[in-house]
Amino acid sequence: MTTPDRDLDGGLDRDLDRGLDRGLDRGLFITVEGIDGCGKTTQARRLCAWLEDTLGSGRALRTFEPGGWGGGALLRRLLLDGTVLTSRTELLLFLADRSGHLDAEVLPALNRGQWVVCERYTDSTLAYQSWGRGIALEEIEGLSNWCRFPAPDVTVLLDVDEKTARSRLGARGKLDRMESGFETDFMARVALGYRELARRYPGRIVVVDGAADEDRVAAQVTERVTERVRQRRRLEGERT
Ligand code: TYD
């Protein structure tokens, strides 16, 4: 399969810490990450609304993984409520979902000049399937490179301790297949994985305290994203 659009962005290994290294004439690709119950849906919504206010109506698109594309509902159902027998099958299904989602939603939007705010992306796979399930990081990175997944420009990590996250989910009722990881030390390993990823990729990942109240988190998210964009503009100015 040839995917010329993905070739533009290079592979995951070279670019994981690339940060805002994309021309600002194209849209920016922002991902929102964190453990289950960290508040990413609320914050992604608010970030997207703020971008629309700032950049103009129609300039931002909010989407999500797993499942945020035409064929994704089936995969999402299978991954969250179905029976997936091995970690490798689970990994391949998440990657297949991402591949479809990039082709159908993310890359067309970026090429139209929209800013994309995506709930979950490659860091979810690294945190959940490597730190959580124990699959070697290099194996996941190798597969992601083969898939030519572009790195995000900025990643917002909503850092919340497991207790707070678990109690937020408690209010929602039954936990899905992945969320049942709160019953073991799975989610603690995932949280650790996210923090380690933030240490490894400080040029791309901004960490925001997700335990604060909603308005304060939203203000911090917009502030940190703006900072990154300004840094990028300064760098661009220095180069020209
Ligand atoms: P999410 O959409 O955050 O669930 P909800 O909307 O119910 O809060 O994510 C679904 C689950 O999938 C979540 O537990 C994280 C997991 N996941 C992975 O394990 N690997 C991945 O690559 C992705 C994208 C998600």
pLDDT digits (tens, 9 = 90+) for 36-70: 999 999 999 999 999 999 999 999 999 999 999 99
| Residue 130 one-letter amino acid | S
> For residues 98 and 100, what is the distance between their CA atoms, to the nearest angstrom?
5
230 pLDDT tier (thresholds 50, 70, 90)? confident
**What are the pocket residues of ligand 1 if the criterion is a CB atom closer than 6 Å to any ligand atom?**
36, 64-66, 80, 94, 120, 124-125, 128-129, 176, 178-179
Ligand 1 centre and the CA of 206: distance in Å? 20
pTM of the model: 0.90
> What number does the ligand 1 atom closest to the CA of 37 have?
8
pLDDT at position 22, please? 43
pLDDT digits (tens, 9 = 90+) for 155-187: 999 999 999 999 998 877 788 999 999 989 999
* Backbone torsions φ then ψ of 210, nearest 5 degrees: -80, -5
What structural domains does the chain harbor? 4-239 (3.40.50.300)
